[in-house]
Structure 1
Amino acid sequence: MFRRALAWGALLAALGLALAARYGLGTPISEELARQYDLRPVVLPDGRGLPPGEGRVEEGQRIYAQKCASCHGENGEGYPFNRLVSEPFPITPDTEPVEYAIGNYWPYATTLFDYIRRAMPFGQGGTLTDEEVYHLVAFLLYMNGIVDAGTPVNQKTLPQIRMPARELLELDPEAKRRFPWLTLP
């Protein structure tokens, strides 16, 4: 019985290794393949990974009307998909937003850039240029009352933007317990 189980285990392990080799598991990805899949670095909360470029509110409004309004509403009100513009109200730890949106929920402007670049427009994630994403972020931050209309959004300014919900972000209690050295940026 033990020999039979051992034989099956060895067979499955060998099959797994053969399949891993066949599909290149464990092999570093080549530059060419990375370009083919358009793999971009993750943008971290502190701004590491942000590409060069700059966005302005006016251009962001134009791009939003073309590529975003059909899902998120003409003014970000959220029809048929999620709301992007929040109702203005004071945000405190005790506040329960009626609907989560960028202005009352998103903790970092930099990760908003990363999310839009990777996931939007719906079903076509990764098709926006970095410039288009900067323009959209500028427009959405403006619509949420976070930046002025003339504020340029770029690699340098985006990490400096303080989101209203930033102070409400907390580490999960389990993460605190397991990784006591971990802090939020």
Structure 2
Amino acid sequence: MSLGIALLLAGLFFSASLASSTPQVVATLMPSPVGTRDRLAQPTLPASPSQADHGAQVYWLSCLPCHGDLGQGLTDEFRAAYPPEDRNCWESGCHGERPYENGFKLPASIPAVVGADALQKFSNAAVLQAYIKAAMPFWRPGSLTDDEAWAVTAFLLRENGLREDREELNASNADLVRVRVTEAESTLEPPPDTRPHAGWLIAAGVAIPLVILWWMRRSRKSSA
């Protein structure tokens, strides 16, 4: 065996012995903190976006600033998501009594558009879409295109569990999608009359006119 090979084998043996006698340090990965969702960030479109998915984009751009990231309305909790200088929406010079140039005054209360009591002034999706197209967004009513108004209507219906987003919502089917929750129409028959002697009263009501008619005919024959 050559001297070089002998030295190589000795070095390998020494290294292995040292490694076995030295405590091994195993690196442990600490879990990374879960990032906080940016409530004001633009939603991401899926690979094959539906009409309601596109409506989520319209909502983010034109509706979220007033109606909230979850459709809850302009609540104190939602306004806290904004930077401190933008939280008092009714401040004079912002959207209060004296708005800035080209600004606008906000209503004192902005309703929720998602939830149990939301959208109850609209009977169906066609009425809802027509209102959105004509009156929204508040600061620039009528600026949405027809497609944008239909898309955000489809989004609101989906978020409220009123419609599955399987087919396109349009003028041909929107009036079939009910929005307002109404009490079921009663199909019960009126209860029978259970008052005492009700049958006798009915019979008397039929018999009396017959008796009067018979008496009138008899009187005519007697006079003749």
**TM-score normalized by structure 2?**
0.42
Q: Do the aligned partners of 1:117 and 1:133 also contact (CA within 8 Å) in 2? A: yes
Rate the CA distance shift 1:130–1:72 in 2: closer, same or farther, 3 A: same
Q: 2:115 aligns with which of 62, 77, 86?
A: 86
Per-residue CA distance 1:114-161 (angstroms, 9 max, x = gap): 110111001200100000000010000111100113232011121111
Cα deviation for residue 106 of structure 1 reads: 2.5
1:136 match: 152
1:153 match: 169
2:118 match: 101
Cα deviation for residue 164 of structure 1 reads: 4.3
**2:62 is equivalent to residue 67 of structure 1:** yes
> What is the 5 A alignment of 1:105-184?
105-166=121-182
SS in 2 for 1:78: coil
Matches of 2:181 and 2:167, distance apart in 1: 20
Matches of 2:128 and 2:182, distance apart in 1: 13
Matches of 2:130 and 2:150, distance apart in 1: 10
Matches of 1:158 and 1:75, distance apart in 2: 23
* One-letter amino acid of the structure 1 residue matched with residue 129 of structure 2: F
1:52 match: none
Q: Do the aligned partners of 1:85 and 1:144 also contact (CA within 8 Å) in 2? A: yes
What percentage of residue pairs aligned between the two structures are identical? 32
**TM-score normalized by structure 1?**
0.50
Q: Structure 1: which 5+ runs fail to align? A: 1-54, 88-99, 169-185
Matches of 2:174 and 2:149, distance apart in 1: 12
Cα deviation for residue 86 of structure 1 reads: 1.5
Task: Choose 1 or 2 for highest CA Rg.
Answer: 2
Per-residue CA distance 1:28-85 (angstroms, 9 max, x = gap): xxxxxxxxxxxxxxxxxxxxxxxxxxx8111001110111000000011111521001
Q: Do the aligned partners of 1:117 and 1:130 also contact (CA within 8 Å) in 2? A: yes
Root-mean-square deviation over aligned CA pairs: 2.0
Rate the CA distance shift 1:167–1:114 in 2: closer, same or farther, 3 A: farther
Rate the CA distance shift 1:78–1:131 in 2: closer, same or farther, 3 A: same
